[in-house]
A and B are shown apart, each in its own frame.
Chain A
Amino acid sequence: MFLYYVRLSMLSYKRNPVLSTLMVLAVAVGVGAYMVIFTLNYFMGGDPIPQKSGQLFHLQLDYGNPAIPDTSNQPQMAYVDTLALLDAPFAYAHSASSKFMAVLEPSNPDLSPFFVDGRGNTADFFTMFDVPFEFGGGWDRAADDTQQQVIVLSQDLNLRLFGGENSVGRDVELQGIHFTVVGVLDYWEPAPKFFDENNGAFNRAEEAYIPWSLIVGQQLRRSGNTNCWEPPKDSSFESFLNAECAWIQFWVELPTPDDQQIYADYLASYVAQERAAGRMQIPIEKRLFNVREWMAKREVQPDETRILSALAAMLLAVCLLNTVGLLLSKFLGKAAEIGVRQALGAHKGALFRQHVIEAGFLGAIGGVLGLGVASLGLEGVKILMGGERVNNEWMHLDLTVAAITIALAVISTIIAGLYPIWRACNVNPAIHLKAE
């Protein structure tokens, strides 16, 4: 019966091609536009590390200068606290990291020196964040302590320097310092870049990773945001390190609620001790944020996509209102046919099913076209946003989004069709038989 109704729907489409095509286009445009924005929101508001997002916690401390309200609520951590917390008496995995820039002098004479966007991080960074490796691996905590000159390359940088081959054990010269490659990453571009949203939530991941202790040990050129709420005593590097300046991202992995409680208590006592010493005078209530909480608090989802999702919903509404009107015209135009079918013994239920399937059929075609509209729209957004610094590889239709698009088209067309269908099923057969 279903296939018979689908065939009837196709016949009906052919009989009224202009009206039907208008309807399909309205659905395609409405659903397509909505899905462009849906995709942006789905990824930008999404969970970049779903398997662990409830166990990874970003730390925030009671920073700020009480005299200057704007300085509270610092997202990053100061050096002295980072050292203290890396030394905390727990076995939990934890990661301190910050950005640096360095000149890379390739051993290959065909390549000229270039700047590398790098990250200094402690050993647990790779395991905590499930960073995928193509070759080799990270380093251990001992390498952090002894400032071993080891380096992990991104897939791209490895391609550029070593043609993509296994470069573990090779030498890389950064800022005149020789590093030994211990690992090469697989493709890794989390979006949002949750582990350092403060320096561009959708910026590309760094190209090189080295033990974080080297940033201070070798006084590498730090990049990324630095915020101070007390000026350093003088211009020396030592004073900067000891100053109330935040520039480090600190994460800890706390698998169970008990662990979270233990760590929160520990943080509270640490803060209390610092407060007694005259620091941390602006109390905050919450110091541990899991990935989702942190993304929400930092509002990584841009206003633009949130505004656009409201506008896209209205665009979809207009398209569906249009569809209601067009379906009404179409179904009422079929009054004679419906009259005949009724006279020949079709139940209202059967007529209802037939027209629901007809509406769904139009919706499905609209949905497929809508996929085209959506992918065109996403390509357009990609071009508008530019992909140099910003990671836009996630801007595509995946299977989930494609399935949602078709489902949205079918369901919304059927909903839009309910009233026209009801009207069509309540045609008085006698009148139309007479008119024929």
Chain B
Amino acid sequence: MTLTALTDQPVHSRGQSFWRAVELAGCYLLGALWVLPLFYAVWMAFHAAEYEVRFDLFAPLTLGNFVDAWNAAPFARYFLNTFVLITVILASQFVICTLAAYAFARYEFRGKTIVFMLVLLQLMIMPEVLLVENYRTMVKLGVIDTVLAMGLPYMASAFGIFLLRQAFLTVPKELDDAARVEGAGPLGILLKVYVPLSRPIYVAYGLVSVSYHWNNLLWPLVVTNSVSTRPLTVGLQVFASPDQGVQWSIISAAALMTSAPLLIGFLLFQRQFVQSFMRAGIK
């Protein structure tokens, strides 16, 4: 079998190299096709409206669309709102999920398995699925149209608890015991031993969480109704509604602008992004 494989090769080599070339072309075509929509958006955003469907390599570049978009809606405020929202969510997630993950990783208590299953349920039933009932809760709490309303349902995340628990389980028990002997309490051990050893997981979870909440639309759309709380996604949705009759080039500029921080971050730290998503995905 080995022999035929070896002797077969030269005979087929011309045909093989042809198909290899076709295959390579297919791969690059797929890559080009995938990035095309984004390139097109960049083209529209940086050219005057008359070049929306006219291609001219020497068409004059302009930042006018960005200026127009920026002036047409309170994007500065939206950026601030998104920034505050993400900071609040991420900080709470880190604290709340770390505590819970530690309990699941290192403590034995009654009902542990059932509680863990109940936590994992949130992986399936995400807060936006229950938006009608959650909206009612926010009305009762009197927090409609606040950062708190947008953030509360996401602060305890099953995904985060699960991810950190897996990380904590790999921490050697001896380190835990040693810290205990030195008189450290549960919180001290957590902060001195577990958190520092799980730093890559925090980075991974942080990146995944930031890109999720930067992009989240439905729940913020439901619980906000004013410029002073709306995040970027909702702001863009209000700005680009078809009945507003805004030019495509300006919409493209606004769309790129709202994605810019994530986009630039991704282009600069591509490896970290991809690795983070990988780390978060392997269970």
Q: Do A and B come from one complex?
A: no
Report B's interface with A, CB cutoff 8 A: none
Report A's interface with B, CB cutoff 8 A: none
